[in-house]
Amino acid sequence: MAENGRQVSLLPLVGPEGPAYGRAMSTVSVTHHPLFVDGRHVDTAERYDLRDPATGEVVGTLAKGTVADVDTAVEAARRSFAAGVWAGRTPAERSAVLSRIAGRLAAEVDDLARLEGSVNGATIRQATAFHAGFAAPHLQHFADLAASYAFERVIDTPPVPTLSTNRIIREPIGVCAAIVPWNFPLVLGIWKIGPALAAGNSVVVKVDERAPLTLLRLAEIAHEEGVPDGVLSVVAGPGPEVGARLASHPDVGKVGFTGSTVVGREIMRLGSGTVKHVTLELGGKGPAIVLDDADLDMAVEGILFGCMLFSGQMCESGTRLLVPAAGRDEIVGRLVERVRALRLGDPRDPATDVGPVISVAQRDRALHLIGRAVDAGATVAVGGGIPELPGFEGGSWIEPTIVTGVTNDMELAQVEVFGPVLAVLTYESEDEAVGIANDSDFGLAAGVWSRDLRRAGEIGRRLRAGTVWVNTWHGVDNNAPFGGYGQSGVGREIGPDALDAYTETKHLHVDLSRSAGEQIFALLQPGPGA
């Protein structure tokens, strides 16, 4: 992701004489991490191993929660909400606490980057810029919203009404659940925790057992900065048990989920039993359309940034490249040359461009999808295998890969790979390019590369995607909503209206037909939560 269109270079900080493979550096020591429930650390009988995807080594352990731990966390959240220890504070007071937490996240950005990268394989360059770097400004965005949001407003038409007055009141839902993936746990967790707390809710977070560390640290910081016991808890455990209990719990009123479309459908089903509010940010298969007038120097860099950043393990990655048939050979040739210059190696080395994928199973799935495409008639232009990396033999590595001759009916063009794999498709006309781009179950993100911004904008309006970038990729701005069309999800996160999804709307109608003038005046004054 890139804030306000700014990109962090994916390409080498050292010379382009690649491929360059670094050697393993020392890994972190093994530490045990308990859950954080109701203001305290909670250990469990069973544990998960936390592994470094670069080496496969165990670098820590995590308490393995159960349904009973979820019930304890939800009960603490319900109790704290009913007592008003957080919901009863003014928006300004909640904003001040969230601002202090954001300040702590900014101060600890280097430690948070190392924590996150140690278990999800993000390179230190990327983790510092995005995984940890986005945390403080995005949480500050929600702190600012807490102070400015219209929790109460009068909708009467001036002058002062004589028969009635009407107020629209936005109230917290109560107990909210956040189910967060391993790829961007801190930032995507904040996208749910931030608006929930800003609105006055209590929150139970289920972390992915592969990458829990930064959200556990966030919970500790929040407690230290004044978030009361029970208002923010973090649990872990098997999705079909712990996640399912959280999504179906009768005391949970809202579920925010980021993850696969398959699991998102199950979250929606589980939440339907008690008609919960649900926000889902799911999969993607982003089309990047290169027009015939594109600046290829810019486009090639941006295409690789869009697809290869974090080894392609981002839901909005640009993994389908649509190029004019007449320009395919030149574009692919340039891309192959740049891919060969990418440096694979230790994620903790600032010179590393591309790290591992999250697991051996994920690597093997990506390789399987590449093989299926080749069987269907496609060609691997570069990559497509497992690199030889001395010192990293136990890691989950895959070469950055470009596959040509792909058609949109192939599995590689329709299925989210979640690996550093770019599928190249060709088109003959703009209409055909738009048709191919929109021929997908997903609609999270898309992009257009062109010197003609008017032309690119017109095509962007025709693309069925929640975010469309022109001459950039991963441009996530916390002031703009993020989410997808179709099976890429339901609802939007961040943006100016983020608190809407974490509040209930109440219409308060008061009959004034027999009220005295003083009573009318009193009723028209803002309430204590305004």
Give the active site residue among 64, 192, 276, 285: 192
Q: Say if residue 159 is preceded by a cis peptide, omega within 30 of 0.
A: yes
482: its two tokens: 């993020």
Which one of 3, 285, 315, 416 is the catalytic residue?
315
Bridge partners for 165 per DSSP: 510
* Half-sphere exposure (Cβ direction) of 66: Cα atoms closer than 13 Å: 6
Amino acid identity of 268? M
CA atoms within a 13 Å half-sphere pointing along the CA-CB vector of 246? 35
* Beta bridge partner(s), residue 256: 178, 279
Q: Within 13 Å of residue 274, how many CA atoms lie on the same side as its CB?
A: 15
Cβ pair 420, 401 in contact under 8 A: yes
**Element holding 83 (H helix, E strand):** helix 67-83
53/118 Cα distance (integer angstroms): 8
Q: Give the separation between CA 12 and CA 354, rounded to whole angstroms.
A: 10
Positive or negative, the CA dihedral 311, 313, 316, 320 is positive
Does the active-site annotation cover 315? Answer: yes
Give the separation between CA 494 and CA 93, rounded to whole angstroms.
21
| R_g of the chain computed on alpha carbons | 24
493 is catalytic: yes
Q: Which two tokens stand for residue 241?
A: 């048990």
Of 45, 88, 105, 283, residue with least CA distance to 201:
88
> Using CB atoms within 10 A of its CB, is residue 106 exposed (0-12), middle (13-18) or buried (19+)?
middle
* CA neighbor of 320 nearest in space, from 359, 285, 282: 285
Element (H, E) at 268: helix 261-272
Structure tokens at 47: 């544990």
So which residues are the catalytic ones? 192, 281, 315, 493
